[in-house]
Structures are given as C-alpha cells and as structure tokens.
Chain A
C-alpha cells in the first residue's frame, strides 16, 4: 500500500539562532561576535542611542503641544535603528520608512528639516546634495522596490556603497517587500534590507501576518542570506549590519536582517492606544530588555560612561532640539505657487496659468 506523500517533511525548518552579543545585564555573551569598535566608537554609538531616546521623548511632548505633526515613536528601537545605521558609510544610500527618522538625521538630515517633515512643510524634504537618502516612505513596501533600483544604480556606477532600507513586521506581507528583495537578489545588487519586528503592525500581532516562524527566513524565497538578530542589542545589530554591508560591497548581493524589537510607545501619535491590544505584563517584559540599559551597563562596567556624562549629553541634545524647533517655527510659510513650480521641471502651460493666479493672490 502506498504511504503517500508526507507533507510534514516539506516544512522548511529555519535556524532560530538569534544573534546576540550583550545580554540584558550588559554582559558580553558572545565574544566571537564582539564588533571591532574602539572605546570612542562605543561611546559614540551609545550617545546616538541616547540622543534618539531624548528626541523621541521631546517629539512626543512637542506633538502633544501641537508644535509637531505626524510622529511615529521610536523608543525601544534605538539598538535596531541606531545600531544598524552605525554600520552605514556617509556615501551609502538610505531609504527609510516613516518610523526611521533617527537614522535619517544621523545620516545628515538637519534636525530642523526632520521637524518640518513632521509638520508637513516642503522644506523638510529639500535635501542637501551630500545627503544620500530619500524622505521617509509612507507607502509600506515601496522603499523596498526602490532600494533594488538604488542598489543597482550604485553597482552600475561602480560605487563601493550600499543601499539600506527598513520596514516593520507588517510590511513583510506586502508584495513590494518580496519584489524588492527578489530584484536585488536577481541583480546581485548591494542592498541591506531590514524588517524591524516590534511584534505589532498597529494592533495586528506578528503571528497574524504569516505562519512563517521567523521573518528572517523570508530571505529563502529570494535566495539571499536572512539573519535574525536581538534588536534590543546594539552591538549585535551593528555586528550583523557591518557583516551585511561588507558582504554586499564585495559583490555578493543583498542581505535581509530581522531585528527583534519593541516599541515602548504607540504606533503613531495620531490616536493609537496600545492598551487596546497589548498587556501591561508584555510591556514590562520588554522594558526589562531596554537597549539603553544594557549599553549603559556595559559602558559603565568598562569605565567609559558616567552619570555626569549622561546629564551633560542630555542637556546638549535638548539644546539642539530647542534650536531646531526655533528655526522651524520662524520659517516662512509655504506658498502654493512654489508647489506648482515644483510639480514639473519643464512647466506646462496649464500649470503656468495656475502659477500666475497664485502668485497674484500671494502678492496681495
């Protein structure tokens, strides 16, 4: 009698070795993976993470005061965002999603422009030529297909640079997520794709997105390496990101990285209430994994960080934020005529007619 086909044996069993360097107490648990960073660099990495947390807290307040507009909180994701960006070179190209403003500012976007983007001012997206990046992408997945194009462009130009992009856990269900990685794979283009898996897409938990046990294994579908990393561990995220960048620059094609992380705040400040879909216990459990806590402990143990340094840095960051807000709040109002002028380079007659109308109106 035929035994038939046993479909159970066709389940792909992914590796579940989550890359970790620091544990929750700031102890090095994997010396072999310890990245090659100087003391100064380690301090710089932590300062950037702290900067990101302060920026998050201040942005939340500024939003509530009505001084900022759209804001997607980042607290809890400092290791994932800053740790990964720390592996980028200045000439690498960044394609952020709407939550990835911290990386964009670290990459060279003036803070005042980031605030203008939040408020909805065109000047926030006028990038200096030296900034290799696109503005935060609102259409979830679009940044992935565009990354394939940027990476192919870098390759064709012979640049020794890489395109970096980010989406969340929900974003891995989009068609563009698959297409972007598949194109980059087929063209062996230098790209690093991140899924920052914080467990929820607004209110929808990760397990509703897919039956796949990891998101990292989605790389298998396009034939590229997929790595799952402790997204609350900045040194692990940096180590994996650096390896991925080196791999891509060497002409081996793209890499996909899943960072296991958590957002301490709501999805955005546009009315989302995580209490509707998350438990207090769960939040507490993740707060114990705070990426800042373990980096702080690690650096303090090494004698590289003190409370005094932290207070001084906080003061400096707050002053930066105040200065940027002042710049934004004294900026000139936008003009519809400028919008019209930016719609085409070679302005069509029908647009020119509208420009003339608005210029006349704006002069009154």
Chain B
C-alpha cells in the first residue's frame, strides 16, 4: 500500500471504474487529452479511448443535458463541472432534471450519474471557483451530495458513487487534492454512501464536519487534547441525505456538539445538522450547539481568504466556548 494524494486516488478510482464497466463515460471541459485542469483524468483517454473519455463544448448546461440523455441510453455518465461555482449554469439539469427523473417516471428509468466537481478555498483562485455551494444541492430531493475529506475516503466513496444507480454530486475540495497523503489500497474498494465516519474518538465534545474542515478539526482536536478536552470528530462524508443515526450517536455520547463548515453561516448543511440534533438528541445536550462557519458575505477576494475562511483557531475557540458554557 502506498501513500498517495487525493487527486491520484480519484484518478485511480476513475481508471478502475472505466475498466470494470464499459458503460462508464467521463466527459467535460478539458478532461480528455489535457487530463483535466487538475490532472484528475490524466492518462484516462489514452488508456480507454476517445469514446469513453472526451471533451465537450464549453457549456455546463449542455453537459448536464448530455448526461441525462446518455443515462437514458444505458450509460453511466461521470461528467465534470470544472469548478462548482459554475453550478448555476447547470442548476436546472442537476436540481430539476437528473435528480427527479427516476421519481417523475415512477421508477421506470434510472439516473446512474456521478457529477464530479472541485470546490473549496485556500488556494487563491479567481472569483466563483471556491464557493461552497453544497447547501443548494443538499436541498434537492433525489440526489446525494458526497464530500470526501481525504485520499482514502475519496477513492472508496467515488467508486461507490459511480456504482450507485442514483445520481450523486461528488465534490472535491481543491485544497485536499495534493496537501495530504494517506495510505490508499491499489485495489478497488467501496465505502458506504449515507454513512458518516468517526475520524477521532473522544468523550467530551463532538465536532460534526465535512470536507477540508475535517482536517482543520482534527488539528484542533490535537491541540485541545493538550488542555484536557477530548474531542470526537465525526466526518459526515455524505452531506445529503444526512446520517442522522451517527449524528445522534455522537451527541448522546458527548452531550456537546460543535458543527463546523467552510460555507457561510446561512449556507452549507450545518443548520440541517443542528435541527437533527434538536429533533432527535436535544435531551442529551448539556450546552447549546455551537457552529463554526464563514461570514455571510459572498466568497472573499483571494487576498482576504486567510481572514475569512474558518480555520483551526476558530474551531478551538468555539469548542472552548461550548465546553465552558
């Protein structure tokens, strides 16, 4: 087993799925010969051919329609939206078409689609590249939103997403692509969708989080351990639909919850997690639920990212406040 980056783990998952199932198709802007703007599809066209991995015209809505149409003809499309900030161009295909086709046709047609898209801050992108828009799709019935927090999860969750007969939006945090390495098995493996994972066991307070904030939360937990606060970190992995049982379980165990997201306070899924706690675990709480999120402004100009994005220090401060309430 080798230590590898998330981007390599993703490429490996795509390569193995292309090999396993000849109905898998990968397409998008610059994903073919170029291998993707982040090299996520590097070498895939050379290995599997232009019929399986191909470029499209520059039009996200067209890509969305292409995806739906190909799925009706028995394919398993894995389209890419170059940056998730471009979601708005394809929102109808995602939230009004692909997500509801199985439902609107009374179960007679399936939509085995995995829409891959990078997002996330900390790498000084230009406008509308880094926005966390998972909350918009999370509010759409009929589609899963999966966000891995590192290389191992990325491979297993992506393989599961591609194999799922339901549509999935698979969001890849740009800062995670190459910043950390983990042991990732060479062979195929799957991780269950709709299941959160405890990334650090603790007994004093639960941090419930996802995406890059899992890494910041784990760092915060190490520092908090030094001052005697034992933090449990729950990684949601699928942010819609939520693993409510796992959320309830960790809150029952610690009696305290801090929800951490990179999205603005009015966005993301933290409010949905908080309401699950209120509905199903309120009586186990001994302090109010704490939240860490970005300010309610549009995504910052890149030089202001460090001041705007939530980080380890914000998490530590909120956990202290919650624990000492």
User: Which B residues are in CB contact (< 8 Å) with A157?
Assistant: 73-74
The stretch that binds A, out of B36-44, B56-64, B121-129, B251-259, is B56-64
Q: Are A134 and B72 in contact (CB under 8 A)?
A: yes
CB distance from A174 to the nearest CB of B (A): 10
80-119 of chain B: CB within 8 A of chain A: 92-93, 96-97, 102-110
B107 touches which of A126, A148, A186 (Cβ 8 Å) = A126
Say if the beta carbon of A153 comes within 8 Å of chain B.
yes
Please judge, given known A-B contacts A146-B97, A349-B194, whether A176 and B73 are in contact too, CB under 8 Å.
no
Residues 171-209 of chain B, each 1 if its beta carbon lies under 8 Å from chain A, else 0: 000000000000000000000011000000000000000
Residues 80-95 of chain A, each 1 if its beta carbon lies under 8 Å from chain B, else 0: 0000000000000100
CB distance from B271 to the nearest CB of A (A): 16
CB distance from A316 to the nearest CB of B (A): 30
Please judge, given known A-B contacts A153-B72, A339-B103, A342-B102, whether A183 and B65 are in contact too, CB under 8 Å.
yes
Q: Are A147 and B69 in contact (CB under 8 A)?
A: yes
Q: Are B142 and A139 in contact (CB under 8 A)?
A: no
CB distance from A29 to the nearest CB of B (A): 38
Say if the beta carbon of A348 comes within 8 Å of chain B.
yes
Q: Chain A residue with minimal CB distance to B66?
A: A149
Say if the beta carbon of B284 comes within 8 Å of chain A.
no
Query: Across the A-B interface, how many residue pairs have beta carbons closer than 8 Å?
Result: 137
Docked pose: A341 CA to B57 CA in angstroms: 36
Instruction: Tally chain A residues at the interface, Cβ within 8 Å.
Output: 43
Please judge, given known A-B contacts A126-B105, A135-B104, A182-B59, whether A350 and B242 are in contact too, CB under 8 Å.
yes
User: Which A residues are in CB contact (< 8 Å) with B75?
Assistant: 153, 156
Docked pose: A198 CA to B193 CA in angstroms: 48
Say if the beta carbon of B225 comes within 8 Å of chain A.
no
Say if the beta carbon of A125 comes within 8 Å of chain B.
yes
DSSP majority for the A interface? helix
Say if the beta carbon of A24 comes within 8 Å of chain B.
no
Say if the beta carbon of A123 comes within 8 Å of chain B.
yes
Say if the beta carbon of A255 comes within 8 Å of chain B.
no
Q: Are B166 and A153 in contact (CB under 8 A)?
A: no
Residue of B68, B193, B245 ringed by the most chain A CB atoms within 10 A: B68
User: Which B residues are in CB contact (< 8 Å) with A339?
Assistant: 103
CB distance from A252 to the nearest CB of B (A): 19
Please judge, given known A-B contacts A151-B69, A346-B165, whether A183 and B62 are in contact too, CB under 8 Å.
yes
CB distance from B194 to the nearest CB of A (A): 5
Q: Are A342 and B103 in contact (CB under 8 A)?
A: yes
Say if the beta carbon of B70 comes within 8 Å of chain A.
yes
CB distance from A279 to the nearest CB of B (A): 36
Say if the beta carbon of A343 comes within 8 Å of chain B.
yes
User: Which A residues are in CB contact (< 8 Å) with B65?
Assistant: 142, 144-149, 176, 179-180, 183
User: Which B residues are in CB contact (< 8 Å) with A125?
Assistant: 104-106, 108
CB distance from B118 to the nearest CB of A (A): 22
Q: Chain A residue with minimal CB distance to B242?
A: A350
Q: Are B62 and A182 in contact (CB under 8 A)?
A: yes
Docked pose: A348 CA to B146 CA in angstroms: 13
Using C-beta atoms within 8 Å of the partner chain, give the interface range for chain B. Answer: 35 or more
Say if the beta carbon of B288 comes within 8 Å of chain A.
no
Q: Chain A residue with minimal CB distance to B25?
A: A156
Docked pose: A152 CA to B70 CA in angstroms: 7
Residue of B73, B142, B165 ringed by the most chain A CB atoms within 10 A: B73
CB distance from A165 to the nearest CB of B (A): 10
Q: Are A150 and B74 in contact (CB under 8 A)?
A: no
User: Which A residues are in CB contact (< 8 Å) with B243?
Assistant: 349
Q: Are B97 and A139 in contact (CB under 8 A)?
A: yes
B96 touches which of A139, A150, A345, A349 (Cβ 8 Å) = A139
Q: Are B73 and A122 in contact (CB under 8 A)?
A: no
User: Which A residues are in CB contact (< 8 Å) with B62?
Assistant: 145, 148, 176, 179-180, 182-183
Please judge, given known A-B contacts A156-B73, A346-B165, A350-B244, whether A176 and B96 are in contact too, CB under 8 Å.
no
Q: Are B61 and A153 in contact (CB under 8 A)?
A: no
Q: Chain B residue with minimal CB distance to A186?
A: B57
User: Which A residues are in CB contact (< 8 Å) with B244?
Assistant: 349-350
User: Which A residues are in CB contact (< 8 Å) with B194?
Assistant: 348-349
Residues 138-181 of chain B, each 1 if its beta carbon lies under 8 Å from chain A, else 0: 00011010000000000000000000111000000000000000
Q: Are B93 and A142 in contact (CB under 8 A)?
A: yes
Say if the beta carbon of B67 comes within 8 Å of chain A.
yes
Q: Are B56 and A126 in contact (CB under 8 A)?
A: no
Docked pose: A259 CA to B166 CA in angstroms: 38
Say if the beta carbon of B290 comes within 8 Å of chain A.
no
B70 touches which of A135, A153, A182, A350 (Cβ 8 Å) = A153
User: Which B residues are in CB contact (< 8 Å) with A180?
Assistant: 62, 65
User: Which B residues are in CB contact (< 8 Å) with A345?
Assistant: 102, 107, 110, 164-166
Given contacts A350-B241, A350-B242, 7 further A-B pairs with CB under 8 A are A134-B105, A142-B93, A146-B68, A179-B62, A180-B62, A182-B62, A343-B102
Q: List 17 A-B contacts (CB under 8 A).
A: A125-B105, A125-B108, A126-B106, A127-B109, A134-B72, A134-B105, A139-B96, A145-B61, A145-B64, A145-B65, A149-B65, A149-B69, A151-B69, A157-B73, A157-B74, A183-B65, A344-B142
Where the two chains meet, the residues of A that have a C-beta atom closer than 8 Å to any C-beta of B are: 93, 122-123, 125-127, 129, 134-135, 139, 142, 144-154, 156-157, 163, 175-176, 179-180, 182-183, 186, 339, 341-346, 348-351
